[in-house]
Amino acid sequence: MSENNEQTIAKAVETILYALGEDPKRDGLLKTPNRVAKALQFLTQGYHQNPKEILTQAMFDTSNDEMVLVRDIEFYSMCEHHMLPIIGRAHVAYIPNGKVVGLSKIPRVVNLYARRLQIQEQMTEQIADAISETINPKGVAVVLHARHMCMEMRGVEKINSTTVTSALRGLFKSDIRTRNEFYDLINSHTPSNF
């Protein structure tokens, strides 16, 4: 984000503070517009990243044709409707088709899409499509579990509700055994000493 954009956001935040009945010139709020602008820059950095570049930075030949699963990837996003937090976990699996990617690249792709204004359903699809299109695996599976502050802090105010979305591609969609293996793995408990 350019400095000009950051200043524009800071000015808008100052206007919002006035509209809320606050005084942006008082001690506690004096630097708030700039802090919010910097926070929004960080929270939306995914707009300036390319999933293909991330995944191809560490792509390797392999003879492995068994599932690769990265489970319990924490993510933080903001809903595009209210700009309130979405807090969740992602489970991402793929079946290699001659190529694997460095394990850290999967959470980086999750973060890339989380760091945009989102709806969970769209984010789930975007992660699956990015992996599918870039490494051309035999299958991709993505499941997101998330809490939405727009449901908990306002509106219906249901604090214990979780939204679950999935996106299945290739063998995960066509082969029930592969799909069941994925769901069994993401739902199994890891030993406490792991």
State mean pLDDT over 52-67: 97
Same domain for 137 and 165, yes or no, is yes
pLDDT above 70 (res 57) = yes
pLDDT interval class at 193 (50, 70, 90): low
State mean pLDDT over 181-187: 97
* Mean pLDDT taken over the chain: 95
> How far is residue 106's CA from residue 93's CA, in Å, rounded to a whole number?
9
pLDDT above 70 (res 1) = no
Find the CATH number of the domain harbouring 60.
3.30.1130.10
pLDDT above 90 (res 2) = no
Same domain for 62 and 129, yes or no, is yes
pLDDT tens column, 130-180: 999 999 999 999 999 999 999 999 988 888 899 999 999 999 999 999 999
State mean pLDDT over 89-116: 98
174 within domain boundaries: yes
193 within domain boundaries: no
What would the DSSP string read from start to end of 55-78?
HHTTEEE----S-EEEEEEEEEEE
Same domain for 33 and 61, yes or no, is no
Number of domains present in the structure of the chain: 2
Active site residues: 79-82, 120, 148, 150
pLDDT tens column, 71-83: 999 999 999 999 9
Both tokens assigned to 147 = 């809490």
Same domain for 69 and 35, yes or no, is no
Same domain for 70 and 92, yes or no, is yes
Same domain for 139 and 168, yes or no, is yes
Dmax over Cα atoms in the chain, in whole Å?
A: 63
Find the CATH number of the domain harbouring 26.
1.10.286.10
**Domain residue limits at 32:** 3-43
Task: Check: CB of residue 82 under 8 Å from CB of residue 153.
Answer: no
Same domain for 55 and 151, yes or no, is yes
Same domain for 135 and 173, yes or no, is yes
Instruction: Write the DSSP symbol of residue 129.
Output: H
pLDDT above 60 (res 185) = yes
192 within domain boundaries: no
194 within domain boundaries: no
Same domain for 83 and 123, yes or no, is yes
The β-bridge relationship of strands 163-170 and 139-148 is: antiparallel
